[in-house]
C-alpha cells in the first residue's frame, strides 16, 4: 500500500535550498531509485518512524552501527551518565584508554589504538601512517571498495560513488591518481602484476568483506595471498573494518579469516551509534604516530567522552554476551532462506550474499565476486523492488550496492513480515516508482 510521504517531500524541498543535494551524505539521497528520501522523526528497536508517521522495519540501521537496534537502554544509560559530567574537554579522559583496552582484548591482532571521529579519518590516517612508516608513496586499493571520502579512496570507489555513477570524483589531483593503484577484488594475479612493476608501494587497503558494492566476501586464498605478497615486499596490509568490525564476529573479519593485518580501521559499532573511528595495529607501527613519533595526526574531538562511553557500553555488552553472534547468524540465515524460498517459488535466480548479519540481494542471476560483476545488476529492477518494499513498511538501503544490516532487535515477526513483503513485491514487479 502506497504511503503518504508529503511531509518528507516538503522537507526535502526545503533542505535543497540550503544543503547541497538536500542531504549531508550522498548515501541518504534516493537519487538512484528515482524519488525523495524519507526524513526520520524517531526510532526504537527494529523500527523507524518518518515525519509523516509511517513506521518501517529498519534494515539500514544507520548504515551499520546499530547492532542492538535503535536506542538500546544500556547505551542510553551510558550516554546520559557521560553527559552529566560534560560534553567535551579537549583533554585526555579515562574512557579513551578503556575503549582502546576493550578493542585490544576483543581483537587479538591489535596492540595499540588511536581514536578519531569517523571511518574516513581512520582510513586516511592509516595510509598516511603506512607511507610514513615504510617511506614509500603508493597504495593499492580495489575496484568497488569504499574507504571514505579522502582523495585516494575516491578512485574507482564503491558505495555512494558507485550508486551515483561517479567512481572517480572531480577534485582529485593527478598526483593522487598516480599514487593510487587499482586492483581487482578477489583476483590475486591483478595484485601480483601491480607489485611486480612497482617498488614504491606502502600499503594494500581492502574491505575484507566488501559492504559497498553489495556484500562480497573476499576468498580465503585471496586474503592469505595478500598477506604473503605484503610480507614478501615490505608492504603493509590494512583491513578496513569500519563496517565489519564487531559485526561479523567479536573480532571482526580478522577473526573470521584468522589473518593478522598490520593495521585495522574501525568505526560505526565502536561508537554505539555516535560519531567515532579508530585505527589500530602493531605497536611497532603505531608508535610512529605523533606525539610518540613523527607522523602527525590530531583531532579536537577525538576520544570524545560521550562517544567513548557509548562505545565502552557497546563493547562491554559484546564481551559479556559473545553468543549474540549465534543469534545474529540465526536471524540472517532465516531471512536468507526465506528470500531464497520465494525466489525458487517464482522460478527466479537472483544472487543473495550474506555474511552473518550483513545481507544483500543482487538483481543478477550469476555469482557476484567483484566490481565487474556488481555493476551488471539490474538497477532499474532494484528501484522497483526498493519502492515496493518501502510501501510494505520495509526500509532498505536505496542502492543496489549497499548491505542490509540485521540487528538483535529484529524479531522473528519482523523477519517473517519482511519475507512476506518480499513475496508480495516479487509477485507484483510492475509497481509504480514514486
Give the span between the Cα atoms of 72 and 194, in whole angstroms: 46
Residue 330: in which H helix or E strand, if any? helix 324-345
Q: DSSP state, 45?
A: B
Cβ pair 47, 58 in contact under 8 A? yes
| Residue 255: strand, helix, or coil | helix
In the residue annotation, 404 being an active-site residue is answered as no
| Residue 183: strand, helix, or coil | strand
Burial class (CB in 10 A: 0-12, 13-18, 19+), 145: buried
Tell me how far the alpha carbon of residue 355 is from its chain's centroid: 13
Per the residue annotation, which of 56, 146, 325, 350 is the catalytic one? 146
Per the residue annotation, which of 268, 282, 331, 384 is the catalytic one? 268
In the residue annotation, 50 being an active-site residue is answered as no
C-alpha cell at 36: 525523495
Please, how many CA atoms are within 13 Å of residue 20, restricted to the half-sphere of its CB? 3
Per the residue annotation, which of 240, 262, 373, 414 is the catalytic one? 240
Give the span between the Cα atoms of 92 and 83, in whole angstroms: 16
| Residue 414: strand, helix, or coil | helix
Nearest to 57 by CA among 291, 374, 335: 335
In the residue annotation, 42 being an active-site residue is answered as no
In the chain, % helix, strand, coil (3-state, to 5) comes to 45, 15, 40
Residues with a catalytic annotation lie at 146, 240, 268
Amino acid at each position: 500500500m502506497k504511503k503518504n510521504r508529503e511531509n518528507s517531500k516538503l522537507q526535502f524541498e526545503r533542505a535543497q535550498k540550503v544543503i547541497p543535494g538536500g542531504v549531508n551524505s550522498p548515501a541518504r539521497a534516493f537519487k538512484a531509485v528515482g524519488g525523495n528520501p524519507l526524513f526520520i522523526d524517531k526510532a526504537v528497536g527494529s523500527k523507524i518512524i518518518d515525519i509523516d508517521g509511517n513506521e518501517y522495519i529498519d534494515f539500514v540501521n544507520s548504515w551499520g552501527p546499530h547492532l542492538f537496534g535503535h536506542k538500546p537502554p544500556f547505551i542510553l544509560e551510558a550516554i546520559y551518565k557521560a553527559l552529566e559530567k560534560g560534553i567535551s574537554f579537549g583533554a585526555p579522559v579515562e574512557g579513551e584508554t578503556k575503549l582502546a583496552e576493550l578493542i585490544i582484548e576483543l581483537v587479538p591482532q591489535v596492540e595499540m589504538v588511536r581514536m578519531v571521529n569517523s571511518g574516513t579519518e581512520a582510513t586516511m590516517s592509516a595510509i598516511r601512517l603506512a607511507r610514513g612508516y615504510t617511506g614509500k608513496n603508493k597504495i593499492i586499493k580495489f575496484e568497488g571498495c569504499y574507504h571514505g571520502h579522502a582523495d585516494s579512496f575516491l578512485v574507482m570507489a564503491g558505495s555512494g560513488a558507485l550508486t551515483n555513477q561517479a567512481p572517480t570524483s572531480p577534485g582529485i589531483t593527478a598526483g593522487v591518481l598516480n599514487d593510487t593503484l587499482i586492483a581487482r577484488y578477489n583476483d590475486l594475479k591483478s595484485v601480483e602484476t601491480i607489485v611486480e612493476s612497482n617498488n614504491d608501494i606502502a600499503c594494500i587497503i581492502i574491505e575484507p568483506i566488501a559492504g559497498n558494492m553489495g556484500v562480497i566476501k573476499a576468498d580465503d586464498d585471496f586474503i592469505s595471498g595478500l598477506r604473503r605478497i605484503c610480507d614478501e615486499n615490505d608492504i603493509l596490509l590494512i583491513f578496513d573494518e569500519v563496517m565489519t568490525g564487531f559485526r561479523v564476529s567479536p573480532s571482526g573479519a580478522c577473526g573470521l579469516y584468522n589473518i593478522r593485518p598490520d593495521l585495522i580501521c574501525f568505526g560505526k559499532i565502536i561508537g554505539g551509534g555516535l560519531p567515532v573511528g579508530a585505527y589500530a595495529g602493531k605497536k611497532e607501527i603505531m608508535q610512529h604516530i605523533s606525539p610518540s613519533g613523527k607522523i602527525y595526526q590530531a583531532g579536537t574531538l577525538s576520544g570524545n567522552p560521550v562517544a567513548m562511553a557509548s562505545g565502552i557500553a557497546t563493547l562491554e555488552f559484546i564481551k559479556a554476551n559473545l553468543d549474540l553472534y549465534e543469534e545474529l547468524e540465526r536471524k540472517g540465515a532465516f531471512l536468507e532462506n526465506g528470500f531464497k524460498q520465494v525466489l525458487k517459488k517464482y522460478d527466479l535466480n537472483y544472487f543473495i550474499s550474506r555474511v552473518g548479519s550483513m545481507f544483500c540481494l543482487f538483481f543478477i542471476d550469476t555469482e557476484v565476486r567483484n566490481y565487474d560483476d556488481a555493476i551488471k545488476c539490474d538497477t532499474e529492477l532494484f528501484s522497483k523492488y526498493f519502492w515496493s518494499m518501502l510501501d510494505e513498511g520495509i526500509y532498505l538501503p536505496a542502492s543496489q550496492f549497499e548491505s542490509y544490516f540485521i540487528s538483535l532487535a529484529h524479531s522473528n515477526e519482523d523477519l517473517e513480515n519482511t519475507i512476506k513483503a518480499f513475496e508480495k513485491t516479487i509477485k507484483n514487479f510492475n509497481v509504480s516508482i514514486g
